[in-house]
Chain A
């Protein structure tokens, strides 16, 4: 059974803190994504990675960075959390164009 694991399901952080969201997949997929989900806005792509150490900006990269040191792990970093980054964050993987995207269960982040 395929698995995308987001280790932190619920986090509460203070404004200005550095936040790490971790995602691990066991499907040997090259491509990994971080999305942000907000009511009425659907899923918006923050960053994606198509190989180890490779990354590309999505639609809303401001205030975020990512790290992909190993194929199975893709981390999202909020360098200095702000209240407008309170959201649900979804990690996803896909093998290639047109294939099924597999999602993690999401990380609910609240910044106070």
Chain B
């Protein structure tokens, strides 16, 4: 069955520290891969996406993610976290063919401490 797992329900990091949010997926073939961010009380906004090519993908707000086919993972990273990064982060996968249904993970809430 297709699924997306974000093992960490919440993570707390200090401002200025590095960040890695984990995402693993189960899918029949290599899907499209996405990370979305949701600020409190808002809808979701796309951070970055992977379609093909370079497995290290750059996104907005200084985020990047690396696709590792052998590990079925697409972890999100940021070298130095800012207080404004506090939000909920969702990993998602989408089919390459035969439809546009996107499956979302349960989300990881990021807390940033001063």
Residues of A near any B CB (own CB < 8 A): 4, 31, 35, 40-43, 45, 48, 50, 58, 90, 92, 94, 96-101, 103-106
Interface size on B, residues (CB 8 A): 27
Question: Cβ of B9 and Cβ of A40 under 8 Å apart?
Answer: yes
Confirm or deny: B42 has a beta carbon within 8 angstroms of a beta carbon on chain A. Answer: yes
Question: Cβ of A106 and Cβ of B41 under 8 Å apart?
Answer: yes
Question: Cβ of A42 and Cβ of B105 under 8 Å apart?
Answer: yes
The 6 nearest A-B residue pairs measured at CB: A103-B43, A42-B106, A43-B104, A98-B32, A103-B44, A42-B104
Q: For chain B, residues 37 to 90, give those with C-beta under 8 angstroms from any C-beta of chain A.
A: 41-46, 49, 51, 90
Question: Cβ of B49 and Cβ of A100 under 8 Å apart?
Answer: yes
In the complex, besides A42-B107, A104-B43, 12 extra interface pairs with C-beta distance below 8 angstroms are: A41-B106, A42-B104, A43-B90, A45-B101, A48-B101, A94-B100, A97-B94, A98-B96, A101-B44, A101-B46, A105-B41, A106-B41
